Amino acid sequence: MINTSQIEWDDTVLPFQLDAADVRGRVARLDGVLDRVLDQHDYPRSIEALVAEMSLLTALIGQTISLRWKLSLQVRGDGPARLIATDYYGPTEDGAPARIRAYASYDAETLDHGADPFSQIGKGYFAILIDQGEGMAPYQGITPIAGGSLSSCAETYFAQSEQLPTRFALSFGRSTMADEAEHWRAGGVMLQHMPKASPLMAKSDPEAEAGRLPTASDLLDDDAAENWLRANTLLDTVEDLELIGPTVPPKELLVRLFHEESPRVFEAQPVEFGCTCSADRVRQSLSIYSAKDIGHMTTDEGIVTADCQFCGAHYEFDPKSVGFEAEEAKDGSN
């Protein structure tokens, strides 16, 4: 049964700024959204953990994109966990919720259920893609799988591709509260040095740094590095229950951690589970196939079927109504 969160700060992302440290950040809490994402599939626990971590990272990173933009995170590996993919759709208008969806592809036969979930990815890459809409070229950045966690991969991506020191503190898992069924819950904090630090990347020696991924010390001068270290040291004191936060509001968490850094909060962004699949979109994806190709896709029952990997929606079509040689009008679908 899907849990519907009754805590006002659940399924939100709260942006903030530490004025005394020149650091910005976000606090995210996912409850009902995460349950909706994971209830679409019967994943093993280790795959659920990877999807939960990716969903939380997606919420934290996605909060910065503009209205109607789309942010996608992808992890591809050569291990049993082959693909973890998430999408974040920016609000359609101010005040509207953002939408998140996610899914995973894995090899059930080789998956080691007792191993660390991250180890099941193997060698591969972590990618961030931003779609700014029709007429705009999409942006893509890639970094290797490394560091022992998906959040470490994301930190490396920002240091390498954006020259922005970035830190994530995340907690996620199955939660049991009084008078509630067990359900997934996640929370996290993202810290990021203000963008003006990025030009300092020029002080690094490219030859000396060859073969090594950049770190915060490569990107910041002495004063900025001291501010960044102080903010990270304070974040190191956070506890898992504070991050997940069923009893700790995001604003209270910021005061607990950063009261000496003059935290300033902005309007929280609500998030919800959302998928963009539709019969028209599926039909469009099938429009590249000939009648012969469609014939190979037709079941013994005489229909063409398609299932959404994100939300599990099932679509059925008359084979004559799909493909570039379609004979019937669009209302031929079921």
Where do the domains of the chain lie, and which CATH numbers do they carry? 12-273 (3.55.30.10), 279-332 (3.90.1280)
pLDDT for the residue 180: 67
Distances (CA, A) of 329 to 280, 281, 333: 12, 15, 9
pLDDT score, position 152: 96
Q: Residue 174 and residue 38: Cα distance in Å, rounded? A: 11
Reading the block at residue 176, the tokens are 């049991």
Closest among 87, 59, 85, 88 to 74, alpha carbons compared? 85
- Say what the pLDDT of residue 201 is: 33
Mind listing the pLDDT tens digit of every residue in the chain (334 residues)?
Answer: 334 345 778 999 999 999 888 899 999 999 989 988 998 888 999 999 999 999 999 999 998 888 789 999 999 999 999 999 999 999 988 889 999 999 999 999 999 999 999 999 999 999 999 998 877 888 889 999 999 999 999 999 999 888 899 999 999 988 766 666 777 899 999 999 987 633 323 333 333 344 555 556 667 777 888 999 999 999 999 999 999 878 899 999 999 999 988 899 999 999 999 888 778 888 888 888 888 888 888 888 888 888 777 877 788 888 888 888 787 645 444 4
The C-alpha atoms of residue 324 and residue 294 are separated, in whole angstroms, by 10
Query: Considering the entire predicted model, what is its pTM?
Result: 0.82
H or E segment at 39?
helix 32-39
Instruction: Tell me the C-alpha distance between 318 and 103, whole Å.
Output: 28
- pLDDT value of residue 240: 93
Paired residues of 16 in beta bridges: 25, 265
CA distance to 91, 104, 156, 173, 189, per residue, from 234 (Å): 32, 34, 21, 23, 12
